[in-house]
Amino acid sequence: MSGFLASVDNLEDAIKVNQLGADIIDLKDPKQGALGGLNCKLITEVVDQLWESAVVSATVGDLDADVSLILDRIQAVADTGVDYVKVGMFSQEHIDICLPTFEHHARRGINIIAVCFADVDFNIEETIQIAKKAQLKGIMIDTAGKASGSLLLHKELNVLQQFTNTARSAGLLTGLAGSLRETDIATLLPLGADYIGFRTALCKDLSRTAGISVESVRRVRELIPVTETNLRPSAAL
């Protein structure tokens, strides 16, 4: 069964989606890109408010393939107390040069999720093996260019199934996201990813930079059966 990840950019919406039953509250700034990073003070406020009742993830931002920069940002976001730190693999350089270095933080207990992109070419098998060797907690596929169409326009279902199966076999948490709509849920659920992520579909007027629509969140929650799987890092795998 797949969980429901809801991306938000403020405390009010985080509380709202938590009350409406999101399994993971994901913090990012959609105005700053695909994985735009929020101020660590705001992330800390969300964690402090919801740590007892919610699983929280946060992105490090749309960063260049600069090892030192990314590692520093991973540490800063982890220090806020989030359950997962999400890092974008925006290029092959990110995968080949940066991803292996995340082992330093992973060994020290930081739960890192590598975010690959359906509209950026990458080798699924090789990337999963690098993530496994670096002792990451998970890996997911999203879309980098939100104007270029949804996940399902960029990857065939058989490819997404291969990704999910291979990552799970490697012991990694798996996620699928990328400009998804309510109508995509029935197609993606059989793939068995640990969670399916939404931003645009939850927003007013389907604008990813707008606030959260309560009715939209409710509809998505109703379409994803409630999972009994505990997605907190200590219990997720």
pLDDT digits (tens, 9 = 90+) for 112-160: 999 999 999 999 999 999 999 999 999 999 999 977 789 999 999 999 9
Helix, strand or coil for residue 158? helix
So what's the pLDDT on residue 236? Answer: 54
pLDDT, the chain, mean: 96
Tell which residue, 60, 48, 58, 52, has the closest CA to residue 25.
Answer: 58
Joined tokens for residue 108: 């020290």
227 confidence band (pLDDT: 50, 70, 90): confident
Domains of the chain: 3-200+211-223 (3.20.20.70)
56 confidence band (pLDDT: 50, 70, 90): very high
Joined tokens for residue 187: 């197609």
What would the pLDDT profile of 168-203 be if each residue is shown by its tens digit?
Answer: 999 999 999 999 999 999 999 999 999 999 999 999
Beta-carbon count within 10 A of 210 CB: 13
The set of residues, in sequence order, having a beta carbon less than 8 Å from that of 149 and lying 6+ positions away, is: 119, 143, 179
Beta-carbon count within 10 A of 237 CB: 12
Helix, strand or coil for residue 181? coil
- Which residue in the block uniquely carries the two structure tokens 């940066």? 98
235 confidence band (pLDDT: 50, 70, 90): low
- Whether the Cβ atoms of residue 60 and residue 74 lie closer than 8 Å to each other: yes
